[in-house]
Homo-oligomer: A and B are copies of this chain.
Amino acid sequence: MTQPKELVVLHPAPQSTERIFSPETLRRLHEEFEVLDLDGHPDAERQLDLALPRAFAVVGQPDLPAGRIERAVRLRALCNVEGNFFPNVDYAACADRGVRVLGCGPAYAQAVAEYSLGLALDLARSITREDRAFRAGTEGYTFAANSDSILLRGAEIGFIGFGNLGRALHELLVPFRAVVRVYDPWLPDSYLEEAGVTPASLDEVLEGSQVLFVLATITEESERLLSEARLRRLRPGTRLVLVSRAAVADFTALVELVREGRFVAALDVWPEEPVPAEHPARAVEGLVLSAHRAGGIPAAFEKIGEMVLDDLLQIRAGLPPVRMQVAARELVHRYRSRPVTTAAGARNP
Taking Cβ atoms with an 8 Å cutoff, the residues of A that contact B are 19, 95-96, 98, 110-111, 114-115, 117-119, 121-122, 124-125, 127-128, 130-132, 134-135, 137, 139-147, 149-153, 171-172, 174-177, 186-188, 190-191, 196, 273-275, 277, 282-283, 288-293, 296-299, 301, 306-307, 310, 313-315, 318-320, 322-323, 326, 328-331, 342, 348-349
Task: Kindly provide the distance from the CB of A247 to the nearest chain B CB, expressed in whole angstroms.
Answer: 17
User: A125: which B residues are within 8 A, CB to CB?
Assistant: 114-115, 118, 293, 297
Minimum distance in angstroms from A36 CB to a CB of chain B: 24
Are B145 and A291 closer than 8 Å at their CB atoms? yes
Q: Which of B115, B146, B190, B326 contacts A297 (CB 8 A)?
A: B146
Specify which of B121, B140, B322 is in contact with A115 (CB 8 Å cutoff).
B121
C-alpha gap A191/B98 in the complex (Å): 23
Contact A131 B288 (CB under 8 A): yes
Say yes or no: A142-B349 contact (C-beta < 8 A), given A95-B98, A283-B135: yes
Other A-B contacts than A118-B127, A142-B293, 20 sampled, CB-CB below 8 A, are A19-B143, A111-B151, A118-B121, A130-B289, A131-B290, A134-B275, A141-B273, A143-B297, A143-B298, A145-B291, A146-B296, A147-B298, A149-B298, A149-B299, A150-B297, A151-B297, A172-B175, A188-B314, A188-B322, A191-B322
Q: Are B310 and A149 in contact (CB under 8 A)?
A: no
A sample of 5 inter-chain contacts (CB < 8 A) reads: A114-B124, A142-B291, A143-B296, A143-B301, A172-B175
What's the nearest-Cβ distance from chain B to residue A123, in Å?
9
Question: A143: which B residues are within 8 A, CB to CB?
Answer: 19, 296-298, 301
Q: Are B149 and A293 touching (Cβ within 8 A)?
A: yes
Q: In the complex, what residues of B have CB within 8 A of residue A124's CB?
A: 114, 118
CB distance from A39 to the nearest CB of B (A): 16
Please name all residues of chain B whose beta carbon is closer than 8 Å to the beta carbon of A330 when the two chains form the complex: 315, 318-320
Task: Please state if A323 and B188 are interface contacts (CB–CB under 8 Å).
Answer: yes
In the complex the two chains form, what is the Cα distance from A124 to B216 in whole Å? 25
The closest CB in chain B to the CB of A14 belongs to B142
Task: Check if B322 sits within 8 Å of A187, measured CB to CB.
Answer: yes
The 7 A-B pairs at the shortest CB distance, nearest first, are namely A118-B121, A320-B328, A134-B289, A149-B297, A139-B291, A142-B296, A128-B128
CB nearest to A318 among chain B residues: B330
Q: State in angstroms the CA–CA spacing of A267 and B319 once bound together.
A: 29
A151 with B110: CB separation less than 8 A: yes
B contact residues around A292 at 8 Å (CB): 141-142
Closest B residue, CB atoms, query A296? B142
Structural contact, A151 and B293, CB atoms closer than 8 A: no
- Contact: B141 with A348, CB < 8 Å? yes
CA–CA, A186 and B283, complex, Å: 48
* Most B CB within 10 A of own CB, among A19, A172, A313, A329: A172
> Taking the nearest CB of chain B, how far is it from the CB of A251, in angstroms?
15
CA distance A328 to B320 in the complex (A): 6
The distance in angstroms between the C-alpha atoms of A131 and B348, with both chains bound, is: 20
Give Cα distance in the complex from A288 to B139, angstroms: 13
